[in-house]
Amino acid sequence: MATYNGMKYLPAQITSILKQLASDDEVVIQDDGSSDGTVAYLMSLGDPRVLVEVNPGNRGVITTFERALKRARGEIVFLSDQDDVWLPGKVAHVLAEFSRPEVMAVVTDAEIIDASEKVVVPSYHQAYGGRAGVWKNFWRNSYLGCCLAFRREVLQPGLDIPKSVRTHDGWLGLVSNMVGEVVFLDKILLKYRRHGGNASQMHRFGWPDVIKRRLALAGHMIRVYPSVRLTRKQLQRRTLAGGKHL
């Protein structure tokens, strides 16, 4: 999780996450220089599963998530925003999908809520056409980070996150799909809050910007392809040897 001045909604999100975690799980939080008491609140929880680090100055969303991911130690990594709410059963349903070794990532569905938790869109997948596929998501990203979980092997080719990509979640979802299968799970397991102050935006960009970024993205995909192939081979050997990912 990346945090930045999130105290208005953060407690509800942290509570919804911790309720679903085991004692040996971790919530890796990278703060981007909050000034509203966010860090003090997180430290006051006194929960050993909550691991907080503060950036040396404001670094932005992509760099902050990248720093958090480099600290993560779990075999399955869930991305999380600071202002949503995980619904009961999210962790269990997602982990069940990883029972198949070929699955590299899982994307749950979500309902979009406003600041007061009124549902404004009942299904993100139905509204925005979420589905897997490298080329589909190359042209139009449907990997919503707050709904995304992936195997830590994805980080081998996925880090560092290119600074020219639009979103960290789109990049990590795409890399996941280059390595293996991505499951889009048609279960509403998250309240995705849009309140006007979100760091991520949902508006469309102009064609010149889209073309420029797609060309850069294609270059990054070519660059990491050798690492993607190596990761695939390592996973295949482990599967043939009877090894387990979970």
pLDDT of res. 200: 55
pLDDT of res. 207: 67
pLDDT tens digit at each of 246 positions of the chain: 999 999 999 999 999 999 999 999 999 999 999 999 999 999 999 999 999 999 998 999 999 999 999 999 999 999 999 999 999 999 999 999 999 999 999 999 999 999 889 999 999 999 988 889 898 889 888 899 999 999 999 999 999 999 888 789 999 999 999 999 999 999 999 999 997 655 555 555 566 777 888 898 999 999 999 999 999 998 888 777 765 544
pLDDT of res. 131: 87
Pairing mode, if any, of strands 148-151 and 76-78? antiparallel
Residue that is written with structure tokens 């990594």 in the block: 77
pLDDT of res. 209: 75
pLDDT of res. 243: 54
CATH number of 2-197+207-240: 3.90.550.10
Residue that is written with structure tokens 């999210």 in the block: 90
Q: How far apart are CA 192 and CA 81, in angstroms?
A: 9
pLDDT of res. 204: 57
